[in-house]
A and B are shown apart, each in its own frame.
Chain A
Amino acid sequence: MNDDFDVTVLHSLRVTDLPPSAVDLARAARTGRRRLRLRYTAVAGVVAALILLSTVAAAVVVPRLGGTPAVPLPVPSSTVAPPLGGCVMGPETKPWMSHVPWMVNDDSWRVAVYLDNVDAVRWIDGKSELIRRVPSGFMVADASRSGDFAGVDNRNKQAWVYHGGRFNRLTLPVDGVVTVRDMNDRGDVVGVVGATVVVWPAGHPGRPRVLTAPDAGGSAAVGIAADGTVVGNVSGGTPFLWHPDGTGEPLPTPAGVAGGAVGALVGDWATGPGVRWNIRTGRADVVTGVAGTGTPDLYGRVYGQSTGPGAPPVAWVNGRIEAIPEPSGEHAFVLFVRSDGRALSGSRSNGVLEWTCGG
């Protein structure tokens, strides 16, 4: 192993043989029953104490929100992507990236939000702002171009959207673990509660909309487009699209592609392993030369690691592969793509690497 670190060394950690199982389901059941009895006893005690202490009312205010207009981004007029125009390494365009592990940003990188102990720090156009009174255990999941952001608590029991200077709790329409998956620029939030896809329309945290799946196999959202179109997967991995009116249909699988779950959505473009969809036209294209699920930009260019030797970073542009440079003697990964494709961020041997593309 040398300094040119190759992630395939991690394959040596794959477990091929397991010894006889030491897992005892009967013991799990006995322990589970004992803990349930203890819990019921504790709950009964708390309820009795509360009755004795009379009633403490907690007012839950569900505010009506006004939407914050997002600064519009240029909308591509064609589904044919412009040339990438070459990428050069540096300079660093996201200064917060080099030292912040728990950070999210909107697709255009105008807004970034991270948690600093108990407070949140929000960057808009490079200016930072401290946001206090963050809900306990809050983990930010996504941000919009207008500066709103959403997330869940660290036990995935509650979800919030930050809008208008306050955290507003998102009403959960069904029981289950909640995750927030994406937020579009007008402030719609999409998430998953249990195995159900839920949209909280901008300005209405108390009015969740459940998106139904074609069968009982469960569904998961990946992203929400500017008009409220949602893409995700149903039945354990079938790519699916829900229109803004709640109706849905499977995304087509192009000939020659084994099929696979949709994994990313930017603008009108969704990607999965070896495939790219335009969610407006319904067209599906085979993406060759990019390993796994690449990250699209607004123009439909797809970024990732090459399927070729050494797996260098590449971009797929209108069916052709364009190289993205790596530092001499090092291996680099493209991890974040600004939605206009003019800035990329990733990792190298000693930390963060940035690229500027398009001349």
Chain B
Amino acid sequence: MRDELEREYTEYFQVRMPQLRRLAATLCGDAHRGDDIVQAAATTLYMRWKQVCGAGNLDAYVRRTVVNAFLSEQRRPWSRVTLTEALPDRPGDTAPPEERLVVQQAVRRLPPRQQAVIVLRFVCDLPVAEVAELLSCAEGTVKSQTRDGLAALRRLLSPAAREGAR
């Protein structure tokens, strides 16, 4: 990469880094793994930076690369090492951090693209069209993944499922 392009690349990431780290951390539920995802996306983008710069909507392209890095990471076996067969102990109603953990574990048990759809729609509050754009899929796919993801979450977070996990 020529010096000018390399400088543009560095300047771009330095400005956007907080948003990209937050997106990745929200997707995977862990700030440190989120940084690994952004690191992978930054490497991929370095290799394509010349073409990426000419793509027009640079921010959208970069966000999509981060989402793809998250999905790729999910396919690797080590990404699931923290998953358990059962949900954690049932938390009390007055324990928000544990409640967060239960919700996070339930979301992580969804298939990767369903995870991404649920997080982008209901944690990041993005509209269907924007999620479709980020995942490079049709809006109908986002909707059906939403439906299936919410149904699975309801099952996983139902009192009966949590009782069985104790």
Binding site for B on A (CB under 8 A): 1-3, 5, 7, 9-15, 18-19, 21-25, 27-29, 31-33, 35-36, 39, 97, 100-105, 139-142, 151-152, 156, 175-177, 179-181, 192, 194-196, 216-220, 222, 236, 261-264, 273, 292-293, 333, 335-336, 346-352
Chain B residues positioned under 8 Å from A32 (CB to CB): 1, 43-44, 46-47
Taking the closest CB of chain A, its distance from the CB of B36, in whole angstroms, is: 8
Please, which residue of chain A has its CB at the minimum distance from the CB of B12? A25
Binding site for A on B (CB under 8 A): 1, 6, 9-10, 13-14, 17-18, 21-22, 25-26, 29, 31-32, 34-36, 38-39, 42-44, 46-47, 51, 54-61, 64, 96, 99-100, 103-104, 107, 118-119, 122-123, 127-130, 132-133, 136-141, 143-148, 150-151, 153-155, 157-159
- Scoring A7, A156, A273 by chain B CB atoms within 10 A of each residue's CB, the highest score goes to A7
Contact B133 A220, beta carbon cutoff 8 Å: yes
Q: How far is the CA of A349 from the CA of B133 in the complex (A)?
A: 27
Chain B residues positioned under 8 Å from A14 (CB to CB): 26, 123
Contact A335 B9, beta carbon cutoff 8 Å: no
Chain A residues positioned under 8 Å from B61 (CB to CB): 177, 195
Contact B31 A19, beta carbon cutoff 8 Å: yes
Chain B residues positioned under 8 Å from A13 (CB to CB): 26, 29, 100, 103-104, 107, 119, 123
Contact B35 A29, beta carbon cutoff 8 Å: no
- Scoring A97, A141, A180 by chain B CB atoms within 10 A of each residue's CB, the highest score goes to A141
Chain B residues positioned under 8 Å from A194 (CB to CB): 54-56
Taking the closest CB of chain A, its distance from the CB of B58, in whole angstroms, is: 8
Q: How far is the CA of A346 from the CA of B151 in the complex (A)?
A: 10
- Assuming A10-B118, A152-B136, is B57 touching A101 (CB within 8 A)? no
Contact A28 B39, beta carbon cutoff 8 Å: yes
Taking the closest CB of chain B, its distance from the CB of A280, in whole angstroms, is: 22
Chain B residues positioned under 8 Å from A18 (CB to CB): 18, 21-22, 25, 31
Find B43's partner among A21, A28, A351 (CB 8 Å cutoff). Answer: A28
Contact B17 A23, beta carbon cutoff 8 Å: yes
* Chain A interface SS verdict (over half): mixed
Q: How far is the CA of A346 from the CA of B144 in the complex (A)?
A: 9
Q: How far is the CA of A216 from the CA of B58 in the complex (A)?
A: 11
Contact B129 A261, beta carbon cutoff 8 Å: yes
Chain B residues positioned under 8 Å from A216 (CB to CB): 56
Interface contacts beyond A25-B42, A103-B144, A262-B129: sample of 6 additional A-B pairs, CB < 8 Å, sorted by A: A7-B122, A10-B107, A11-B122, A12-B103, A176-B56, A177-B136
Contact B127 A29, beta carbon cutoff 8 Å: no
Taking the closest CB of chain B, its distance from the CB of A115, in whole angstroms, is: 11
Contact A180 B145, beta carbon cutoff 8 Å: no
Chain B residues positioned under 8 Å from A220 (CB to CB): 57, 60, 133
Please, which residue of chain A has its CB at the minimum distance from the CB of B138? A141
Taking the closest CB of chain B, its distance from the CB of A145, in whole angstroms, is: 15
Can you list 13 A-B contacts (CB < 8 A)? A1-B157, A3-B158, A15-B34, A18-B22, A32-B46, A101-B144, A176-B55, A177-B136, A180-B138, A261-B130, A335-B143, A346-B147, A347-B151
